[in-house]
Structure 1
């Protein structure tokens, strides 16, 4: 009997001292206040808060639309065989691309919003590429996420809002070229973004934005158009921009990824998303609680240390109301959520 009691006490002690992920509330809505309070009660390295007022988990989980890369996939570029010749030990403890290339601050700092479409793969890729045009003294350029979502995805047999791989965007950039296009309502470039989620959360489901989608989990992928919007002074074929090269980053090698950013600018990384990430507000994110919901792609612009924790500085595509004004920090160097497993970058063609 005594041995049974000791075993029970040991199990209780283990449960109380457990510092790994806490799958409590896994069957609750990830956006509920109860789940947010649970995360904050764990006293982890980050704080949770409400990012999607009035919405349910099923309204936003499709935003993680990045697909897994496949072995021997023709879209996958070779791993960079000519990495930057930088002494890894000489890399600074902290780095921010906005500081290194201040002339490109407006591009690097841009917060995008994929709205009601699972095309994070397109946003995370396009916005890293945009920065590299500026860094390479090719001017301020915005590639059309609309074209990538509709036409590039179709060229490689994907449903853009239903998901694709980041290599889809990079391969399309090199093979077909991508025209210009700004964010929703910008009227910038050949094909600006047209997908907009309707306002929700205040009992108002009216269509107040042209092209927005009411009460649907995800928008339909807009049809591919090989024409620029009316009034744009160029034909689409005269507005295409191409990659000189694109390549995979070294897997599970944080210093190599840092060297690439330090030498050439922001990159695109993918990672696994769990329910708790939807509620990130500040601090250094590491998986704490909840179920896996999908794979996500984001732009990485730097790194640093916070309370002795190494982190990547990332730019999300869920709007400025999400997280830390659209930015977030995620644990670096331990492949948290597989953040260092797969990434891509490229060099623009002049």
Structure 2
């Protein structure tokens, strides 16, 4: 046992040792990095790589051409990953979502392009730009719905990505940090979506929000039109329903043929950023994330390769003037297993467009 004097001396020694060693400990300690500022190893490198371009263009069975796409000239891997905003949809959200199928007796053309099939609908051929925001899930949905308003109601309207992106909230996901395509369509059923004129994605003076600069942030939901004489609720356009389309290529083609473009989600690899022309199939590079686009048609190349025709929202500087083709019938990158859509509704349209549209559909 220690005496009281020995005990005091022991405490004094511990105190002196602690004080003497504290400054050294402070110097050696490393600050905990902010997770928002941390970039994964390699993510600060450029997404466009000469090695990938050479690999694709030398590959005997690639079937497509890679190039230095100007749209991603200054993008890092981290920035590229961020714009791939499709989150994996929880099975619980899909359990009660119907999947449409079509009779095999329905005859379909060997080639189809929604732009020419409904040539009066200018929105089908419009290529947009999502900026640095992971809003592809919202773009794909809004673009398809506005196309279908033209196809079924002969209305050329541009609907608001910003409304869906900023106002759907947790129901759809995380705004510029990604979302669920099927929930975007459910938002159309429950809340509708205003026109782009009422709530534009970009300000009139140029690209101000939600992410032309890498310091992206989801826009705030204001629920008021930027045009002073327009009323938010009066500018809403709705969908009757929200559904999936069966993954069989025949069902997907039948849906497009009868009702118009559909929204599809697929897995993006590094080589996809380099796409320029031809029928894409994954050749090289790692997984970057999930992306949603608009599927507008199909066809077969002279070499006999079946393909899907899709419109991207990375402006016309990327790919084949903003479009791309991907191999059809092989579920390439999961392109055929996550197809969603909905039918346009006349709800709210009697008030705004007259009685020609009949009774509102709830």
TM > 0.5: yes
Partner of 1:169: 184
TM-score by length of 1: 0.80
1:297 pairs with 2:292: yes
Partner of 2:199: 191
Structure 2 unaligned regions, length at least 5? 1-41, 347-362
1:132 pairs with 2:148: yes
Shift of 1:55: 2.9
Q: 1:36 to 1:130 in 2, by over 3 A?
A: same
Superposed CA deviations along residues 292-317 of structure 1, whole A, max 9, x for unmatched, are 01011110000001121100000001
Shift of 1:68: 1.3
Runs of 4+ that moved beyond 3 A:
25-30, 83-86, 207-215
Does the Cα contact within 8 Å between 2:47 and 2:80 map onto a contact in 1? Answer: no
Does the Cα contact within 8 Å between 1:272 and 1:337 map onto a contact in 2? Answer: yes
How far, CA to CA, are the matches of 1:191 and 1:163 in structure 2? 20
Does the Cα contact within 8 Å between 2:46 and 2:75 map onto a contact in 1? Answer: no
Partner of 2:109: 92
Does the Cα contact within 8 Å between 2:133 and 2:176 map onto a contact in 1? Answer: yes
Q: Which has the higher helix share?
A: 2
Shift of 1:141: 1.4
Q: How does 1:1-350 map to 2 (within 5 A)?
A: 29-43=46-60, 44-51=62-69, 52-73=72-93, 77-80=97-100, 83-85=101-103, 87-88=105-106, 90-104=107-121, 106-152=122-168, 154=169, 156=171, 158-181=173-196, 189-194=197-202, 209-211=207-209, 216=214, 219-231=216-228, 233-251=229-247, 253-306=248-301, 307-350=303-346
How far, CA to CA, are the matches of 2:179 and 2:203 in structure 1? 17
Does the Cα contact within 8 Å between 2:67 and 2:276 map onto a contact in 1? Answer: yes
Q: 1:195 to 1:279 in 2, by over 3 A?
A: farther
How far, CA to CA, are the matches of 1:195 and 1:280 in structure 2? 30
Does the Cα contact within 8 Å between 1:281 and 1:323 map onto a contact in 2? Answer: yes
Give the RMSD, CA atoms, in angstroms.
2.4
Shift of 1:126: 0.7
Q: 1:94 to 1:60 in 2, by over 3 A?
A: same
How far, CA to CA, are the matches of 2:250 and 2:340 in structure 1? 15
Shift of 1:142: 1.4
Tell me the SS of whatever aligns to 1:244.
Answer: coil
How far, CA to CA, are the matches of 2:276 and 2:217 in structure 1? 29
Does the Cα contact within 8 Å between 2:132 and 2:213 map onto a contact in 1? Answer: no
Shift of 1:57: 2.3
TM-score by length of 2: 0.78
Greater relative contact order, per chain length (Cα 8 Å cut-off, separation 6+): 1
Does the Cα contact within 8 Å between 1:261 and 1:302 map onto a contact in 2? Answer: yes
Shift of 1:34: 2.4
Does the Cα contact within 8 Å between 1:30 and 1:276 map onto a contact in 2? Answer: no
Does the Cα contact within 8 Å between 1:86 and 1:259 map onto a contact in 2? Answer: no
Shift of 1:32: 1.6
Superposed CA deviations along residues 90-112 of structure 1, whole A, max 9, x for unmatched, are 211111111211111x1110001
How far, CA to CA, are the matches of 1:141 and 1:75 in structure 2? 32
How far, CA to CA, are the matches of 2:119 and 2:167 in structure 1? 33
Structure 1 unaligned regions, length at least 5? 1-24, 182-188, 197-206
Tell me the SS of whatever aligns to 1:73.
Answer: helix
Q: 1:190 to 1:26 in 2, by over 3 A?
A: closer
